[in-house]
Amino acid sequence: MAEPESTVINTNVKQKDPSTALVIAVTTRAIFNLEEEHKLYLEKGKDEYTRHQQANQDKPLPPGTAFAFIQAVQYVNRKILESNPAERDLFDILVLSNNSPESGARIVNSAKHYGLEISKFCFVSDEDSTQYLKSHGVKLFLSADRTDVCNALRRGVSAALVFQQEVQAPSTPLRVVFDGDAVLFSDETDQIFQEQGLEGALQYEQAMEAIPIGE
């Protein structure tokens, strides 16, 4: 499998071992608010978008929906290292972007401006950038694009859709909520529900309560 077109290593951040770290890939539209730029791209094309990004490369992008999540992850890493400076089981954040390296300079500069501990920026020219997730050891993929999320799931990478909304003030605690049905555990009960309705699903759960649900 080919490597991304260009990978920029963030020398301001200590690089982590992907074999031990929990690698999370986040798209640029999830971390930063790029709605105006995305609209420009759709209406006037890639060349105009690139010119706009280059002309504003020193102007930080506003935070996006996943911004506070990245800050919380950084906080957890710092607390872990305070307890054990040799700890290797840390969060590792990388950015996956369909930008070119030229138009991506603003993204790199914005991350450094906010002090985001992103280890690397992968600029990919392919339409389906999710094909590079496994080569980077990614365990979780966050995107604002539903198609990207579905593609990642089909490739066997855990993925979630982040919704564009008003960004809340950052907080240090990291709280992650997982849906139990068909996410942490198998969708066997849901299948019974679809076939036999609520009563059938309840009877199935009661009959199987002592048997662990599949992964």
Given 126, 128, 148, 179, which residue is catalytic? 179
Task: Name 127's Cβ contacts closer than 8 Å, sequence gap at least 6.
Answer: 98
179 is a catalytic site residue? yes
Q: How many CB atoms lie within 10 A of CB 97?
A: 25
Q: Are 40 and 50 in contact (CB under 8 A)?
A: no
- In the chain, % helix, strand, coil (3-state, to 5) comes to 40, 15, 40
- The residues pairing with 118 across neighbouring beta strands, listed in sequence order, are 93
Instruction: List active site positions.
Output: 179
